[in-house]
Amino acid sequence: MSRPRRLVGVGVGLAMLGVWVWVTTRPGAGDLGRVFAWGALCAAMLRFATPLVFGALGGLFSERSGVINVGLEGMMLMGAFFAAYGADITGSWVGGILIGVLAGFALGAVHALFAVTLRGEQIVSGIALNFLALGLTGYLYVAVYGPQGTPDNLPQVPSVHLPLDKSSFLGEAFGQLDLLVWGALVAVAAVWFVIFKTRSGLRLRSVGENPTAAETVGIGVIRTRWAAVVASGGLAAAGGAFLSIGFVHSFTPNMIAGRGFIALATLIAGRWKPLPTLVIALLFGLSSALALRLPVLSPSAATLFQMLPYVVTLIVVAGVVGRSIPPAAIGIPFSRESGR
């Protein structure tokens, strides 16, 4: 990309940031110390980033194998409902996560059936998954729980207590995090290792870049894509499970509220790589955490601060990330007979 063009993008981004800052700070600034309890802010950043990390890692599996996944939202929603339901019927958060992830696998399998085996249009079936999951979880929620909602005593994913001084930065930031927050960080490392350091990861990537070549050396394209898409559903569902039984301790219809799409954006902005994706998710998490705290400075602009994560993502994508190049074979159905 030429330099002047990128500068235009940076300019557009800066202009938007400028407008936003101008609008939000007009009523006058207060003292920053009150707003930025840095340790708590860091913990909140990690909490907000966690569902996105799981969702984006799920998307990474699918898209690296050449299957577009715009159904992350639905997969996360399945995870959120079935984790709550599973925790309720088994009486344990472990059961909740397991059943949530299984539900994610199931929706992933639907995507694989239509996008891989039936060689459908991948964006279309992904959108369909979102509607399906929204309707199915909403239906089951009304049928099972009705107006009372999920029970108050829903088993919750426990927090990990680290022996750190509670008043120190480290203690505040890392002392009391939900197990699944750590799970997300471990998952980033694990996914990086699997995708870039193992034989199956190499196969998965080759299927996403050049399926014909992969097939000629004996890698089953269809089978690999199936595995990747099903895994994708499970990972995204873990993000949903974190939201329902880790973060808010209940399920409400449509509770993913666009986070699946934001996870997709995180993945694309992270250029389909685990570590950059984590960085983008953390940035989004940080601006979400800030958005909740900044109203102290200017209560009248409280709702405007809610824009912050989205504006920041826009600027990052426009000004810094620019063009991200997807896996070469993404979106193209593979058929063994025609070799593509």
Binding site for another protein (CB under 8 A): 1, 5-6, 8-9, 12, 70, 110, 114-115, 118-125, 127-136, 138-139, 142-143, 253, 258, 261-262, 264-265, 268-269, 300-301, 303-304, 306-307, 309-311, 313-314, 317-319, 321-324
Least distance in Å: CB of 210 to another protein?
A: 19
Give whichever of 183 and 327 is closer to another protein, judged by the CB atom: 327
Q: Which is nearer to another protein, 212 or 300 (CB)?
A: 300
CA dist., res. 263 & res. 127, Å (int):
15
Complex with another protein: residue 158 or 258, whichever CB lies closer: 258
CB 80 within 8 A of CB 102: no
| Closest distance to another protein from the beta carbon of 44 (Å) | 19
CA-wise closest residue to 150 among 158, 142, 162:
142
Q: Which is nearer to another protein, 194 or 321 (CB)?
A: 321
**Gap between the Cα atoms of 71 and 80, Å rounded:** 14
**CA–CA distance, 52 with 185 (Å, rounded to integer):** 11
Strand pairing partners for 178? 159
Q: How far is the CB of 215 from another protein (least distance, A)?
A: 21
Nearer to another protein, 37 or 140 (CB): 140
Instruction: State in angstroms the smallest separation of the CB of 77 from another protein.
Output: 11
Contact 164, 170 (CB under 8 A): yes
Closest approach, Cβ 290 to another protein, in A, equals: 14
CA-wise closest residue to 118 among 257, 229, 263: 229
As a whole number of angstroms, the distance between CA 206 and CA 38 comes to 43
C-alpha neighbours within 13 Å on the C-beta side of residue 225: 34
d(CA 267, CA 339): 28
Of residues 8 and 186, the one with the C-beta less far from another protein: 8
> What letter does residue 168 receive in the DSSP assignment?
S
Using alpha carbons only, what angle is made at residue 181 by residues 292 and 76, rounded to the nearest 5 degrees?
A: 80
Residue 91 backbone class (left: φ over 0; alpha: ψ -120 to 50; beta: rest): left
Residue closer to another protein by CB (options 92, 117) is 117
* Least gap, CB of 17 to another protein (angstroms): 12
Q: Taking the complex as a whole, how short is the minimal distance between the CB of residue 118 and another protein, in angstroms?
A: 4
Report the residue number, 211 or 319, with the smaller CB distance to another protein: 319
Shortest distance in whole angstroms from residue 261 CB to another protein? 5
Neighbours of 24 (CB within 10 A): 20
42, 78 contact by CB (below 8 A) = no
**Do 111 and 227 form a contact (C-beta atoms < 8 A)?**
no
